[in-house]
Chains A and B, each alone.
Chain A
Amino acid sequence: MKRQAYRLIASRLGLALLTLLIVSALVFAMTGLLPGDAAQEALGQAATPEAVAALRHQFGLDQPALHRYLVWLAHVMRGDFGMSLSNSLPVSELIRTRLPNSLMLAGLTTIVSVPIALAIGIFSAMFRGSWLDRALNILTLSTVAVPEFLVATVAVLIFAVNLHWLPALSYLSSVSSFSDIVRIYAMPVMTLCCVLIAQMARMTRAAVLDQLNSGYVEMAYLKGASQVRVVWRHVLPNAIGPIANAVALSLSYLFGGVVIVESIFNYPGLASLMVDAVTNRDMPLVQGCVMVFCAAYLVLVLMADLCQIVSNPRLRQR
């Protein structure tokens, strides 16, 4: 039973792994091969030819590129990204300390945004063409195009500067109670939610509209079902796959959004770690962060695919 579904899942998994492999090659080519000689750069002014040659040998830079890539890949697969150049700690340890913070931020944002976005999307699809739909369309269309730092600065102006309700920066060390969590996370989560909700609501609306245009919905109306019943009993079960897809794809926006938001609020997450790494040109750290981001993105896409497969009864029962 379900053999077809399993085969589909396996092929998606294989495709994701292949993509990750290509990404790792791209990332390694960009950071490891192209930017010139790391040994030369590390020594700077004090670079005598002998010292450079010795350091090149120590870094393994005198090996052919493919060999270096394979060695690097073998280490990465064991979770070893090398040592960070700027603070001499293992990259994996730095990532391990920052990752939970970023996951917490992403998780809270998801919990807040998904229900609101689904509600907005489903409602505006139900009342398609009405003034409510049109107003929501303009609102979401505009919100999608607003830069995160505008939302963030306006939020700081209102809630931190004028009202003094919330702190402008996030200091996670001072968390001791639930209200502290709310106070610290309120503004970053709010900023991320703004764009995310708009994007997700638009995609949800499109997915539901797609179903509303189909023949079985017309049939349901003709047999006298109310609109609420049509949407809840007929449309939504069929739209779960596309909606899951919409949610996952919108959530992938988080990977870009956190970069800005974590920097503004000085939040100690993975994205701000990466921005620091880029500023310091700390290549092993950059490589590690990018691979984590891409793996997370692929997991998200994979989960959307799984939802689509599982929610499709034709694949479930055969």
Chain B
Amino acid sequence: MSRPIQSSISHPATQIYDEAGSETAAPARRPRRARLSWLGRIGMTLVCFWLAMAVFGPMLAPYKEGVLASTLSFAGFSAAHPFGTDYLGRDMLSRILYGTRYTVGLALAAAVLASGIGTCLGLVAAVSTRWVDEVMCRLFDALISIPSKVLALVAIAAFGSSVPMLTMVAAVAYIPGAFRISRSLAVNLMTLEYVLVARARGERLLYIARVEVLPNMIHPVLADFGLRFVFIVLLLSGLSFLGLGVQPPNADWGSLVRENIGGLSQAAPAVLMPSIAIATLTVGMNLLIDSLRRHAGFGQGGRP
């Protein structure tokens, strides 16, 4: 079972994070207790806050969606409009709360798809014969060498941008990364004794993948899922910012920045607030995952 563990073309997305580079076998070690550093707690709070807002946001919004609440466009901070108003005089806080559903919901769906499919395919590649593995690796290497934003642009040019389409595009763009991580983890696990014992027992490959391998790589895969989520939020809001993502009258945070970019010269909060919302979500998730990796044994190499 000796296979090349590292394929030739690596991807930045898998290497920004310390432990991600070292792809040694993760020992089956349970964290004693998921302890988080204070930064991790801040991250967790931010992420939970935005998840809650995605569910309850529209109920809490002070104005209904699309209501022209003020005669002033690009108004500044005030008691009636805590985040100011947008280019039509709509309340910015309500717009952001309604947009949370798109930004968080879409990214979550796409990240679940990307991680789920990528992990399954990675497991399949790790347990199947050598040439299946080789073909899959070549194919995903090719897919990974199209930068994700560029791939998304091509897909939008070809198929237009609707909400299901955007979810698909984001998922497809990040499947190769998830595939590579889960494959390299699984290939390492496949060489360990308990897998050999299971093979000797005559277990089917599907059983080995599901019962012996998957539970032992679930922590790094979950951490990777969080990172996919961050990348997808950035990708989708980038697309919306270019006017190619979520289409009006609906708006996610990226579209809100685009709509109100005209207020930049007046330093309107309508431009800054949605981008700050994105940053709090993504930075929060990043801090949470970093802390999980360092302190709770979620690290890729199982290192503390």
Task: Tell me, yes or no, whether B141 is within 8 Å of chain A by CB.
Answer: yes
Contact of B283 among A31, A137, A145, A149 (CB under 8 A): A145
Task: Tell me, yes or no, whether A70 is within 8 Å of chain B by CB.
Answer: no
Chain A contact-residue range equals 35 or more
Q: Which residue of A lies closest to B276 (CB)?
A: A150
Q: Would you list which residues of chain B between 232 and 281 have a CB under 8 Å from chain A?
A: 234, 237-238, 241-244, 254, 257, 261, 264-265, 267, 271-272, 275-276, 278-279
Residues of B within 8 A of A199 (CB): 12, 16
Q: Which residue of B lies closest to A12 (CB)?
A: B8
Closest 6 CB pairs of A and B: A22-B142, A150-B275, A145-B282, A256-B149, A255-B147, A278-B157
Contact of B282 among A31, A147, A274, A282 (CB under 8 A): A147
Q: Which residue of A lies closest to B260 (CB)?
A: A153
Q: How far is the CA of A303 from the CA of B20 in the complex (A)?
A: 22
Q: Please count how many residues in chain B sit with their CB below 8 Å of the partner chain's CB atoms.
A: 56
Q: B142, A278: Cβ atoms under 8 Å?
A: no
Q: Is the interface of B mostly helix, strand, loop or mixed?
A: helix
Q: Which residue of A lies closest to B149 (CB)?
A: A256
Q: A35, B283: Cβ atoms under 8 Å?
A: no
Number of A-B contacts (CB under 8 A): 177
Task: Tell me, yes or no, whether B10 is within 8 Å of chain A by CB.
Answer: yes
Q: B138, A18: Cβ atoms under 8 Å?
A: yes
Q: Which residue of A lies closest to B258 (CB)?
A: A149
A15-B8, A253-B12, A260-B242 are contacts. A153–B153 as well, Cβ < 8 Å?
no
Q: A206, B150: Cβ atoms under 8 Å?
A: no
Task: Tell me, yes or no, whether B290 is within 8 Å of chain A by CB.
Answer: yes
Q: Which residue of A lies closest to B139 (CB)?
A: A22
Q: A252, B147: Cβ atoms under 8 Å?
A: yes
Q: How far is the CA of A286 from the CA of B275 in the complex (A)?
A: 28
Q: Would you list which residues of chain A between 160 and 184 have a CB under 8 Å from chain B?
A: 161-162, 168
Q: Which residue of A lies closest to B230 (CB)?
A: A145
Q: B145, A301: Cβ atoms under 8 Å?
A: yes
Residues of A within 8 A of B264 (CB): 153, 156-157, 161, 168
Task: Tell me, yes or no, whether B34 is within 8 Å of chain A by CB.
Answer: no
For this complex, 14 residue pairs linking A to B, each with C-beta atoms less than 8 Å apart, are A23-B145, A30-B158, A150-B272, A199-B12, A205-B18, A206-B18, A245-B10, A249-B11, A255-B149, A260-B241, A278-B156, A290-B153, A297-B145, A297-B147
Q: B146, A23: Cβ atoms under 8 Å?
A: yes
Chain B residues proximal to chain A, CB less than 8 Å: 8-12, 15-18, 21-22, 39, 138-139, 141-143, 145-150, 153-159, 230, 234, 237-238, 241-244, 254, 257, 261, 264-265, 267, 271-272, 275-276, 278-279, 282-283, 285-287, 290
A142-B286, A146-B279, A147-B278 are contacts. A256–B148 as well, Cβ < 8 Å?
yes
Q: How far is the CA of A275 from the CA of B156 in the complex (A)?
A: 10
Q: A281, B157: Cβ atoms under 8 Å?
A: yes
Q: Write the A127-170 contact mask toward B (1 if CB under 8 angstroms, else 0).
A: 00000000001100110111111100110110001100000100
- How far apart are B291's CB and chain A's nearest CB, in angstroms? 10
Q: Would you list which residues of chain A between 1 and 42 have a CB under 8 Å from chain B?
A: 12, 15, 18-19, 22-23, 26-27, 30-31, 34-35
Q: A294, B10: Cβ atoms under 8 Å?
A: no
- How far apart are B257's CB and chain A's nearest CB, in angstroms? 6
Q: B21, A210: Cβ atoms under 8 Å?
A: yes
Contact of B238 among A147, A278, A297 (CB under 8 A): A147
Q: B17, A202: Cβ atoms under 8 Å?
A: yes
Q: How far is the CA of A50 from the CA of B74 in the complex (A)?
A: 53
- How far apart are A310's CB and chain B's nearest CB, in angstroms? 16
Q: How far is the CA of A211 from the CA of B150 in the complex (A)?
A: 35
4 additional A-B pairs beyond A255-B149, A290-B153, beta carbons within 8 Å, are A15-B8, A150-B272, A161-B267, A297-B147
Residues of B within 8 A of A277 (CB): 157
